[in-house]
Amino acid sequence: MQTKTFKNHSLKSACRSAECPKDPRADQRNKGFTLIEILIVVGIIGILSSVILVGLGSSRERARDSRRVTDLRQIQQGLELFYTKNGEYPDGLDDLTSENIGVRQLPTDPSTDEDYEYASCNGGQDYMLKAELDSESPNLTRDSVSDPLCGISCSGSSEFCVAS
């Protein structure tokens, strides 16, 4: 005869018949992941996330540069509205918000949150507006003014300027 006890004792003899119950702890031991499997998955996720973050860095630079160009175009439109109303360009960009021409707030540089470089000259008949770009962007700077005007030079490949 075979003796089988399963509660708090181990199996005393090998059970060879189909009627023998299985050890209830055998199913519980095979559930879950091992520590090595979890570490491998965490390592793979870490490598993938670092590759993605490095790839997004240049996209962020290009996005900030595009915003700078758009900001200068918007300021340029405000300057033209000011000129139409007053017959001259303002001495400073803050004058755009004080006039009643629809400019409530001036855009600022997305990285530094500072105003863009601006100068008026020739008795308010000319101006130059400049932004420093994060990277050299030939597609963005092809419309840029390169001749110095009003004491502002815009000759670098990472600078974007608009003028009257």
Burial (CB count <10 Å: 0-12, 13-18, 19+), residue 158: middle
Higher-pLDDT residue of 121 and 14 is 121
**What one-character DSSP code corresponds to residue 152?**
B
pLDDT at 48 (0 to 100): 93
Lowest-pLDDT choice from 54-63, 101-110, 135-144? 135-144
Q: What is the pLDDT of residue 144?
A: 74
Q: In the prediction, which pLDDT does 52 show? A: 86
Give me the mean pLDDT over the 93-120 stretch.
Answer: 88
DSSP class of residue 99 equals: S
| Span 31-89, pLDDT tens digits | 788 999 999 999 999 999 988 888 777 888 888 988 999 999 999 999 999 999 999 99
Spatial contact of 147 and 121, defined as CB atoms under 8 Å apart: no
Q: Is 73 exposed, middle or buried (0-12, 13-18, 19+ CB in 10 A)?
A: middle
In this prediction, residue 2 carries a pLDDT of 53
CB 154 within 8 A of CB 145: yes
59-163: which CATH number, 3.40.50.300, 3.40.50.920, 3.30.700.10, 3.60.40.10? 3.30.700.10
| C-alpha triplet 53, 56, 62: angle, nearest 5° | 155
* Residue 122 contacts residue 109 (beta carbons within 8 Å): no
Q: Which residue has the higher pLDDT, 6 or 163?
A: 163
Tokens found for residue 81:
């509205």
For β-strands 159-163 and 117-121, DSSP reports them as unpaired
Separation between Cα atoms, residue 157 and residue 1, nearest integer Å:
94
0.75 cut: is pTM over it? no
Structural Rg of the chain based on CA atoms: 35
93 contacts 103 by C-beta, under 8 angstroms: no
Instruction: Indicate if the pLDDT at residue 152 is higher than 60.
Output: yes
Q: What does the mean pLDDT of the chain come to?
A: 81
Predicted confidence at residue 19, as pLDDT, reads 61
Q: Which residue has the tokens 């608009």?
A: 162
